[in-house]
Copies of this chain bind each other. A is one copy, B any other.
């Protein structure tokens, strides 16, 4: 159970926050040991308001790449903040940051900065529709691209008109993609694609190269724009757009989460083909031109270029995956571990191979009680501040928990 301080805060929150909490950080669907409120974060660790420490495999749902309170990134933020942050115009950091992204991301010739991942998604949508004045936009069924009226996964408060021109296809299914393109006819504006399938509640899927290449071809044939949504996975797969290793370059890519190691900034990147359309849309925000988050992002990009963070997070993820598989095997548990090892989704499965929600939840509850923040149905993140010792400690806790897991409920 979450502790006394957490319970008191939840009671106060329920009075002044609808539902007590909202969005992806509500613990409403998480097991009992998940605390709602935290008081400290450093490196790979989080402390809840009752003083319990966790090795945090959610990394703030993605933003923490180089460790919480990273000294180098935060120093860059503080320095810029002491000179100029939000003001009546942008700082030179904005030009420097756009140049840094263009230099690092193969398909990108330009950048626009915003605050939320959802902002970047909406800007991609507007740019794609402005490009040739077309309406139809393809998205993979179940994919998350943000929480604006046109894309939020829960329909309360939206109207059918918000999605009048969206067509849904099955991720990694070339036939389904081709059918959706045919359905769009001469009115295809864009295809949205996640870099890999990282929907909640179901196994993750790495992208099939044939699917990615076909998406590119179809956009070229139809003069539509290909959009890779790298908000969640950006810089966790490559030091480039996440489809670069497949040889597929999108026209637009959306970024957020980790690009400033937790400081609030997101981005839309694009190629020359999309530049004029992007210059016609009207998008803005009170804090979009703020210098401090851009300075933090510049420092984060430097760390991405100059350190072995990527190889280390992959190695740590592999170590975690192999260790969990071995323990599960010993305990005769069916464990589904999907997605890139540094962005793992771990679920206990039943005899049919589907997620056993009760036992997955019990497993995660045990991990939380043992000081490891795991998630039962959302992909997790391995951070560069983690060490082999953190992984080994995680495996120790996992072994203890798996050995005590209740038997599956009889069907």
Contact = CB atoms under 8 A, between A and B. Distances in A.
Interface of A: 9, 12-13, 15-19, 21-25, 27, 35-41, 46, 48-49, 56, 58-64, 68-69, 74, 77-78, 81-92, 94-95, 98-99, 102, 109-112, 115-119, 122, 125-130, 135, 147-150, 152-154, 156-159, 161-162, 164-165, 231, 256-257, 262-264, 266, 270, 275-290, 293, 373
A24 B284 contact: yes
Given A18-B275, A88-B373, A282 B164 contact: no
Nearest to A276: B18
B88 A60 contact: yes
Given A81-B74, A110-B18, A116-B286, A88 B25 contact: yes
A165 B283 CA distance: 22
A177 B340 CA distance: 55
Contacts of A129: 157-159
20 contacts: A16-B98, A17-B94, A18-B270, A18-B278, A35-B89, A37-B91, A37-B92, A39-B92, A46-B84, A56-B87, A62-B286, A63-B86, A63-B287, A77-B81, A86-B262, A115-B116, A116-B285, A122-B149, A157-B277, A266-B286
A287 B116 contact: yes
Contacts of A38: 84, 87-91
A22 B266 CA distance: 15
B68 A126 contact: no
A-B interface, 3 closest residue pairs, ranked by CB to CB distance from nearest:
A23-B284, A126-B157, A154-B282
Contacts of A231: 286
A15 B275 CA distance: 10
Given A95-B16, A276-B18, A88 B117 contact: no
Given A12-B95, A159-B135, A284 B87 contact: no
B257 A23 contact: no
A18 B38 CA distance: 40
B83 A59 contact: no
A24 to B, nearest CB: 5
Contact of A289 (B15, B25, B157, B275): B25
Given A115-B115, A130-B157, A284-B23, A83 B41 contact: yes
Given A16-B102, A122-B148, 9 more contacts: A12-B99, A22-B281, A41-B84, A56-B87, A62-B286, A63-B287, A69-B83, A69-B85, A161-B165
Nearest to A22: B112
A280 B59 CA distance: 26
A80 to B, nearest CB: 10
B116 A87 contact: no
A130 B115 contact: no
A157 B84 CA distance: 33
A77 to B, nearest CB: 7
Contact of A17 (B40, B111, B276, B277): B111
A264 B290 CA distance: 9
A195 to B, nearest CB: 16
A156 B110 CA distance: 19
Nearest to A153: B282
Contacts of A18: 110, 112, 270, 275-276, 278-279
Contacts of A85: 41, 69, 262-263
A116 B153 CA distance: 20
